[in-house]
């Protein structure tokens, strides 16, 4: 699989605890395990795409703590170009505290650290990263003005803009008008529309009217679908697996999708690969360890 993407996003250390059930307000519960993993939506999705054989360039910031070199070393190990990954003096790297319940559901508390220091000027200085890329992928764990700058530079370089609107929030029309592909779950779609969810396809088509070229909606165990203006909905079912931890499943889906699209795979094949990536991610504990490699994805696609 070929193709080049640019990822503009966050890098975190994930601090993960497993519990029987989530604590109630004011309650202290014993965690069965504690582990640290590489994380951040930007780095996770960059790794997920790289493991599918895509060339990846990463724009972001790490802090001045012990986590910074760990994050950078993992990016390099995965073959990700990190020349645009900046160190941030006197600031910690991003950290996520993740609690995983027996059901495999999770909640996440995020301290953005150096991710919040990624400025539009940093993205401008990385303009060369967009040259020759097929897609530019970004999320919302770095400042919005930096995301806007990245979308503009990607468009100027001829790359498609892929946005994952997480953490969920309303988005300005200026940004939505520059998005070629929006990948979101139902809650994120509702946040963009600033109202309660209706039928997923109806809400997705409302987002199209804001200027987005295509909307891909992930539905967990119900699979995913995509819509484009004046075209019928295309859907892909979820793969059946034994889920251990859903952390990282969405990032695996996105990484598989952009890698396939950058390699010029047909849309339906790209969605199917993305669904396989997301399913396999649920079978392994942690975010970065769960992001599947191409060989495992090919095996699942062949068996299905």
Q: Which residue in 14, 82, 180, 251 is the catalytic one?
A: 251
- Using alpha carbons, list the distances in angstroms from residue 302 to 44, 127, 272, 273, 276: 25, 39, 11, 11, 11
d(CA 206, CA 122) in angstroms, rounded, equals: 33
Task: Provide, for the chain, the percentages of residues in helix, strand and coil under a 3-state DSSP scheme, each rounded to the nearest 5.
Answer: 40, 25, 40
**The pair of three-digit structure tokens given for residue 254, joined into one six-digit string:** 């996105």
Domains in the chain, please, with CATH?
4-22+33-303 (3.40.1190.20)
CA dihedral in degrees (10, 13, 17, 22; nearest 10)? Answer: -30
Average pLDDT over residues 273-290: 91
pLDDT of 11-31, one tens digit each?
A: 999 898 999 999 999 999 999
Average pLDDT over residues 65-75: 95
β-bridge mates for residue 99, sequence order: 17, 107
pLDDT of 151-192, one tens digit each?
A: 999 999 999 999 999 999 999 999 999 999 999 999 999 999
Does the annotation mark 251 as catalytic? Answer: yes
Q: 52, 260 in Cβ contact below 8 A?
A: yes
Residue 275's CB is within 10 A of a number of other CB atoms, namely 26
41: nearest Cα among 212, 162, 153: 162
Whether the model clears a pTM of 0.85, i.e. scores above it, the answer is: yes
């Amino acid at each position: 699989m070929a193709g080049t993407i640019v990822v503009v996003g966050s890098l975190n250390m994930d601090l993960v605890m497993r519990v029987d059930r989530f604590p109630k307000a004011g309650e202290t519960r014993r965690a069965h395990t504690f582990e640290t993993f590489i994380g951040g939506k930007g780095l996770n999705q960059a790794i997920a795409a790289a493991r599918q054989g895509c060339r990846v360039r990463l724009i972001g910031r790490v802090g001045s703590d012990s986590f910074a070199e760990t994050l950078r070393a993992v990016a390099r190990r995965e073959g990700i170009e990190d020349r645009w990954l900046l160190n941030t003096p006197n600031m910690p790297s991003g950290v996520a505290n993740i609690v995983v319940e027996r059901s495999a559901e999770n909640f996440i508390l995020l301290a953005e650290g150096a991710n919040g220091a990624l400025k539009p000027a940093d993205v401008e200085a990385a303009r060369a990263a967009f040259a020759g890329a097929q897609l530019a992928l970004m999320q919302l764990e770095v400042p919005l003005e930096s995301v806007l700058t990245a979308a503009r530079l990607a468009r100027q370089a001829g790359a498609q803009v892929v946005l994952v609107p997480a953490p969920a929030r309303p988005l300005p029309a200026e940004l939505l008008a520059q998005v070629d592909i929006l990948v979101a779950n139902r809650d994120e779609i509702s946040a963009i529309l600033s109202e309660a969810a209706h039928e997923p396809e109806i809400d997705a088509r409302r987002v199209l009217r804001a200027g987005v070229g295509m909307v891909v909606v992930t539905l967990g165990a119900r699979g995913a679908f995509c819509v484009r203006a004046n075209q019928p909905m295309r859907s892909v079912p979820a793969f059946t697996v034994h889920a251990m931890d859903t952390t990282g499943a969405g990032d695996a889906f996105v990484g598989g999708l952009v890698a396939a699209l950058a390699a010029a795979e047909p849309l339906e094949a790209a969605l199917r690969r993305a669904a396989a990536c997301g399913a396999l991610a649920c079978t392994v504990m942690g975010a970065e360890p769960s992001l599947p490699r191409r060989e495992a994805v090919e095996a699942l696609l062949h068996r299905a």
